[in-house]
Structure 1
Amino acid sequence: MKVGLTGGIATGKSTVSEWFRQKGAAVVDADQVARRVVEPGTEGSRQVRERFGDGVFRATGELDRKALREWVFRDATARRDLNQLLHPLIIRQMKAEIQEAQEEAPDRPVILDVPLLIEERLTHLADTVVLVYIPEELQLKRLMEREGISEEEAGRMIKAQMPIEEKKKFADVLIDNSGTRADTEGQVDALWETLLSKSGSNRL
């Protein structure tokens, strides 16, 4: 079973993903895939340099992800261009990793940890979509605390993504992360048991 795991910035998706990994799930992490496809010498690295210039690269040839992230967060056109460049490369690599995980252990759930699963219309890669959810007010507060940034900057980063309330419409399962850690862990435990019991099915 392929489970698309998504959320919004500072909602706790990465923590939930790690809990699934600890339980034995195979995790295909889109952020890690995105890093690999722009490593020095790759086609992705060449295309990013062509579009954004040398200023988003370090002297070592590695991508300066912070510089690029700041650019695309304030420039919607740049964000669109970056997505169009990297999207096909990331999808191809993710599909390869999904296939590898399924061949290695056919009955083991595969978690697709993808921040932009809904925005990039990638839900077709998964049998079910799980959204890690918190209200936007709490999302703003947690992002400010995590990054040590102003409310204005945090708000701008959140607004660069699809609103979390809108994402709820696309989810098959919600994990509400607005309570305690134990509350969230309980929801993850219950979902994991369901995934195991239905392993091999096309739905929860």
Structure 2
Amino acid sequence: MPLIALTGGIASGKSTVASRLASHGAVVVDADAVVRDVQSPGSPVLGEIEKEFGHRMLRPDGSLDRAALGAVVFGDPDRLARLNAIVHPAVRDESQRRFREAASADPRAVVVYDVPLLAETRASDPWDLVVVAHAPVEVRVARLRDHRGMSEADARARIAVQASDEERLRLADVVIDTDGPLSQTEAQTDELWARLTAEA
């Protein structure tokens, strides 16, 4: 079972690559979905977040108020480190459980871990291949501004708190250049899939 890490900065086109791989038959494990699941109401992780950051981090229905939590940790390295110490071990355990589940269902499955913070949190894991979706910063700023309604300042701030392009590209076995038409991104992804299935 090939285990592929797919990463990229915000607005890099990573989700487009993940969707294309899924359309070919890859089992995609979405790190953001894993994070949401381990922080679900009643979970130990959510209890720890409430204990560390206060009851105001919860909505009236008991779910996590992500905007409130983000406002507390954004730009505060100490608080962000405390949050990561709560969340990351649980995400690692759950993602690995999902990898094992996929392998059990189909030992030949190509499993893709769609993980935005690979360089920050999981770079040393034993991936068979690391794929980076890459677009220049200015392109990503324009995407955040034009498609997500962010101001340029907010877009640059979001990009700045993530790993640099250089840090991500140093990890890459394969780079998919998303700074072009969708058809070019899809063609590069199709080539990657052909490589993965030839090797499987």
Q: TM-score interval w.r.t. the shorter chain?
A: over 0.9
Query: Could you say what the CA RMSD is over the residues aligned between the two structures, in angstroms?
Result: 1.2
State the AA in 2 paired with 1:32: A
Contact 1:129 1:172 in 2 (8 A): yes
How far has the Cα of 1:164 moved from its partner? 1.5
Paired residue for 1:60?
61
TM superposition score normalised by structure 1? 0.93
Contact 2:123 2:171 in 1 (8 A): no
Paired residue for 1:49?
50
Contact 2:39 2:46 in 1 (8 A): yes
How far has the Cα of 1:189 moved from its partner? 0.4
Paired residue for 1:127?
128
2: CA distance, partners of 1:55 / 1:159: 27
Contact 2:57 2:66 in 1 (8 A): yes
2: CA distance, partners of 1:179 / 1:197: 27
Contact 2:134 2:175 in 1 (8 A): yes
2: CA distance, partners of 1:171 / 1:178: 17
Report the identity percentage: 39
Task: Give the secondary-structure state (helix, strand or coil) at the position aligned to 2:41.
Answer: coil
1:182 and 1:13, CA in 2 relative to 1: closer, same or farther beyond 3 A?
Answer: same
How far has the Cα of 1:157 moved from its partner? 0.8
**Where do 5+ consecutive residues of structure 1 fail to align?**
200-204
Paired residue for 1:202?
none
Give the number of equivalent residue pairs. 199
1:47-70 Cα deviation digits (max 9, x unpaired): 111111122210000001122223
How far has the Cα of 1:123 moved from its partner? 4.2
Paired residue for 2:118?
117
Paired residue for 1:72?
73
Task: Give the secondary-structure state (helix, strand or coil) at the position aligned to 1:4.
Answer: strand
Matches within 5 A, 1:82-161: 82-161=83-162
TM superposition score normalised by structure 2? 0.95
Task: Give the secondary-structure state (helix, strand or coil) at the position aligned to 1:124.
Answer: coil
How far has the Cα of 1:134 moved from its partner? 0.3
1:86-143 Cα deviation digits (max 9, x unpaired): 1110100011000000111111100011111121134424111000000111111111
